[in-house]
A and B are shown apart, each in its own frame.
Chain A
Amino acid sequence: MKLMDKLGGSSLKDLFVTTAEPEPIENDTVTSPQNVFEVSNHARKVGETYNQYGFRVAGLSEGNPHTLFPCLQSVCWGIRKEQEADATLQQELQAKLAAKKVELETERQNKEEEYEACKEKQKEIADEIQNQKNKLADLEDSRYKRNRDAWIVLITTTVLLIPFTVYFFIFYSSVAYSAFFKEFDINMLGDGGNFKLSQAIFDAAAITNAWTDGWGELVFILFMPIIFLAFGFVLNRWERETGWIKYLKIPLLILVAFIFDSLLSYEICEKIYNLDSMMSLAERPNYSMILAAHDPRFWVIICLGFISYLVWGFVFGYFMKAWEDLDLNQIRKKEIEEKIDKLVRDLDVEKSNGLNMKSQIAAIGPKISEIDSQMSVSARYDLAKIKLELHNFFAGWQTYLAALHKSELEKQEATDLFNKMIETIKVVN
């Protein structure tokens, strides 16, 4: 009895005491009693468009915004009733809903297939990741053996290359000195008046003597071995090239090196021959290539130089190959790791796609349920048509407002009310 308490003890009857004369009613919207309520004036006439109807009804209510909403309601309900009674439209709407349902079901099926394909792809990627990991593990396992072989070759060739290069340096600097700067004299003759080849070629003091002769001579004999080292290096690089042209370039390079070496050898042998000729009483022909070809010393010098140059080139090739083998293992490992990283990224993308598809599939279910519920009700409505006619009605209403020169505020008020009404259409349906 809270209410009674609130009334402070006075009875309800006392509360509802009336005055003798009721309060006079003032209402702008109320018209005189002479204007009777005539239904026929406000109903849509046969053949009248909703635009015309809107214009006419606005005129009847003088564009009063308070009457707009029920007018719109009335139009809406009227169209709904028409649509309910229209069997063809009901069939069409039912068919549309059925088609929409089929479309959604097909979409769901397609999405499910896509999802299955996506899952399959995820599995493939996961398998490939495992495969690559296995490869990486194998590579790690075999790394020791591979590297061990490569290291053996590398160390062996290094051990060979260092003394070989030193020999090369000494040999060619001596040969160059002997061939171009050294004076051969009688003191070089050994026992029995024979020239010692080692003395002719090798000169331990070649660098010191060249320095004494001048810096030009020194630079010349120091750079001579480098020419042959460069020949060896170029030979190795060309050997690794692909294409037929290397088969022309390499023999040409070897030929040039051979000719160069032969000239050095010829120079030395000629000097030895000339000294021999000076010591000999007999008349001897001038030294020539024919004589050189029959001179064993000529070939010994070539063998010591040219052959060792070729061998140096081959050893250098093995050295490079062993070095690359070591490096290749690293590259291969890096390649696999990069591949795994890419596959992991791909897998993440596929998983994200899969989740997306799953949520899309899940979203289709409620849509189908909604269509089912729409199909099960007794009547369906063409909302687009209702909205269109409401717009037409309101356009007519606005035309009347414009004709009455209503203020912008009033026009805006009507538009706002209309927009609110349009928003409720879906709810009302």
Chain B
Amino acid sequence: MEQDKTTKTEMDDVLKWHFFNLYCLALSDEQFDFTELQTLYSIGVEHGITSEQINQVVLTANITPTIPATIDGKVECLYDLARMAWADGKIEPEEREIIKKCVIRYGFLAENADAIVDYFIASVKENKSKSDIINEING
């Protein structure tokens, strides 16, 4: 399994919370699509997280809500959420709502929330990379 090949890194609270959000997003349309599951684990690979660690995160539901400190960290998390939502090739309204909630929770202006969600959804649809987005924002 691909996940097992990654170097096991300790998950901090931010990552745990991030993966919990990703998991909630996957479940938000009440259907845990296999492609969404694959995306969840592949995001884990990118963060150096094994499948077991992800399972344990979603298994416990015992996580301290922790928000990324930097803009880049927030953008990374929102990008992952958008990828998860787009994994099955469609964005459900529930999925959109969760991303929007996260945008607001991450401290972005509520009036910009919809535009930010649109931006991330458009970006994943255009297959932009995480670094492209960060560079674009930092301009």
Contact = CB atoms under 8 A, between A and B. Distances in A.
A6 B116 CA distance: 11
B135 to A, nearest CB: 10
A23 B56 contact: no
Contact of A15 (B20, B51, B67, B115): B115
A328 B79 CA distance: 94
Contacts of A60: 60, 62
A12 B31 contact: no
A3 B34 contact: no
A252 to B, nearest CB: 98
B51 A77 contact: yes
Contacts of B107: 18-19, 21-23
Given A13-B137, A39-B56, A33 B64 contact: yes
B109 A17 contact: yes
Interface residues of A, number: 42
Interface stretch (A67-75, A184-192, A213-221, A293-301): A67-75
Nearest to B64: A33
Majority DSSP secondary structure for residues of A touching B: helix
Given A15-B116, A18-B106, A70-B23, A42 B122 contact: no
Contact of B32 (A27, A69, A71, A77): A69
Contacts of A424: 34
A237 interface: no
Nearest to A43: B56
B62 A2 contact: no
B58 A70 contact: yes
21 contacts: A3-B122, A3-B126, A6-B115, A6-B118, A12-B139, A13-B138, A13-B139, A16-B137, A18-B107, A19-B107, A29-B20, A37-B63, A66-B58, A69-B27, A70-B54, A73-B55, A74-B56, A77-B51, A420-B31, A420-B32, A421-B32
9 shortest interchain CB distances as A-B pairs: A22-B107, A70-B58, A74-B55, A18-B107, A25-B65, A29-B61, A23-B105, A33-B64, A23-B104
